[in-house]
Amino acid sequence: MARTRGARPTVPWWRWRRNPLCRRSDVAEAWLLIATAVLTLVLSGFAGLATAGAVDASLDDRRERTRPVPAVLVEDARDAAPVSENGDGGVWAEVRWTAPDGARHTGRAEVPAGSKEGAEVTVYNDASGRLVSAPPEGAEADFQIAMAGITVSLLAGGAVLLAGWAARARLRLRRLDRWEAEWRQVEPMWRKRMTG
């Protein structure tokens, strides 16, 4: 094997070759690395897919529990407070709607900016007739599902990697303790031979 000056030779799979210097902790560490890599891939993938499925089911349930209701603006929506800082155009304004039982209700809901008093808008109610935000649809729902899946996948993978790192650090500490114990046994004989 050709070597450049100062470079260490690399031997692939050295932990599994027969070698008198290879200790059980070296083999255990190698298997730990493989197990960590496999568990990271499997668990992070499973956790991400399970979370995406749960969020999708939750959004479907939310869509089933909310219903669109026609409402009328009670005030102009020109100078109302924006719903979000990203400038998506929605503002909070006072609206009035009629519940299925015939009762009239008023409340603040998200409406298009610039709408005038008396304009008809669509708001959403839950099963008890309270105003709720519109359930996410289309790209917004897909984005929420994907982000939840990716976030949980990364957290699960990170947790497995952290556990693997901690186990590997523990193996290294045990190996150093053993080397220290062995050195304490060998050092007196080695010193006698060097000084004698």
pLDDT in tens, 135-145: 888 999 999 99
Task: Give the residue-averaged pLDDT of 17-42.
Answer: 83
pLDDT at position 7 is 61
33 vs 3: which has the higher pLDDT? 33
**CA dist., res. 110 & res. 154, Å (int):** 34
166 vs 105: which has the higher pLDDT? 166
Q: Say if residue 92's pLDDT is above 70.
A: yes
Quickly state the pLDDT bin for 146 (edges 50, 70, 90): very high
Of 69-73, 86-90, 102-106, 172-176, the poorest mean pLDDT is in: 86-90
- DSSP annotation of 113 reads T
**CA dist., res. 126 & res. 62, Å (int):** 9
Q: Say if residue 91's pLDDT is above 60.
A: yes
pLDDT at position 161 is 96
Q: Say if residue 1's pLDDT is above 50.
A: no
Contact 1, 9 (CB under 8 A): yes
Of 5-14, 104-113, 176-185, the poorest mean pLDDT is in: 5-14
Contact 14, 29 (CB under 8 A): no
- Which string of DSSP letters, residue by residue, matches 120-172? EEEEEE-TTS-EEPPPP-HHHHHHHHHHHHHHHHHHHHHHHHHHHHHHHHHHH
Considering just the CA atoms, what is the radius of gyration of the chain in Å?
Answer: 33
Task: Give the residue-averaged pLDDT of 11-20.
Answer: 62
